[in-house]
Amino acid sequence: MIAGLAEVRELAWRNSGDVALVVSHSGGKDSMRMLGVLQRELPELPIYCVLADTGFEHQTPISAEDWVQIRCASLAHPVPVTVVRNPNKTYLEMVERRGRFPSARYRQCTSDLKRGPIERFIRSLGYKVVIHCMGIRAEESRSRAQLHAWSANNALTTRTRQAFNWLPIFGESLRDVLEWHWNSGTPLHPVYIPEFHCDGTSGGYLRRFSCRVCIFSTDHDLIQIAKHDPVAFARVSDLEQRLGFTMRPGKTLLEIVDSRETSQSSDALQSCFSF
């Protein structure tokens, strides 16, 4: 049983269907899988997809915005997509004005550029109950595993509106998500690594679909980004130099990439002399 599903059905019954599902859709694998679950389990409820554009979303070989629009329009029951933005700043502008990058503890990129604009969209809807759906899975990290699949959203609840947060695929594994894509014939964005794609050969260079350069990018991710999206890498690297503040503690992006590549070259050379 999907955690939270019984609560949604109860709310729909008690409020005579005056309930809307607002889906945070990044264009990634989990967002699309979540949308598949919602259309299968709750076909009677209206769904609104929202893409929060930070100003630093993937642009090639197809933009995140175009990908979401195409995928949502191609469903058996198409879903409207609204793109929301912070009207006052993009991600890089926010970093420059603050003089520092977000961190795992202080994620202004999420609060200011994603959650804030999405909440403004939710407030514009006229439903008695609004359920904000997010494709977060417990398997992704220790901190995410501590979240609740279903919770009240007190910040958005008013005298005339009840609001809730729901994680419909909270209990699913990466394998569950990928197999759904493969079995349903739902393609993944080309930026994902080949192993994630059904044929195992096509694809790109990242395991996560986030901003072009994310504070959670691994060292390996950064090497791949420097190679495949050098413009984005250079923009963040240049910003580090101007601010005198690094995205990752202790090392610049260039130092991280150089040290990792040097280490890999050393390992490769060492293996040549192993008998």
Map out the domains of the chain with their CATH numbers: 5-166 (3.40.50.620), 189-262 (no CATH)
**Mapping DSSP to helix (H, G, I), strand (E, B) and coil, where does residue 75 land?**
coil
Average pLDDT, the chain: 93
Can you tell me the distance from the alpha carbon of 2 to that of 168, in angstroms, rounded to the nearest whole number?
7
**Given CA atoms 156, 106, 169, 80 in this order, what sign does their dihedral have?**
positive
pLDDT at 28: 97
- Locate all alpha helices (DSSP H) within the chain, ordered by sequence: 5-14, 29-41, 64-73, 91-98, 108-110, 116-124, 142-145, 174-184, 219-228, 230-243, 253-272
Can you tell me the distance from the alpha carbon of 8 to that of 152, in angstroms, rounded to the nearest whole number?
12
Strands (E), 96-173: 129-133, 150-152, 162-166
Digit-coded pLDDT (tens) for 192-217: 999 999 988 878 999 999 999 999 99
Digit-coded pLDDT (tens) for 61-108: 999 999 999 999 999 899 999 999 999 999 999 999 999 999 988 899
Long-range contact set of residues 189-196: C-beta below 8 Å, sequence gap at least 24: 189/27, 189/28, 189/29, 189/58, 189/62, 189/64, 189/67, 190/61, 190/62, 191/58, 191/61, 192/29, 196/29
pLDDT at 98: 95
Spatial neighbors of 103 by CB under 8 A, at least 6 apart, are 215
Can you tell me the distance from the alpha carbon of 71 to that of 239, in angstroms, rounded to the nearest whole number?
34
Q: Give which of 135, 123, 205, 214 is closest to 163, Cα–Cα.
A: 123
SS3 percent helix, strand, coil of the chain, rounded to 5, is 45, 10, 45
- Averaged pLDDT for residues 145-151: 97
pLDDT at 265: 47
Digit-coded pLDDT (tens) for 105-128: 889 999 999 999 999 999 999 999
Q: Let me know: does 181 contact 201? Beta carbons within 8 Å.
A: no
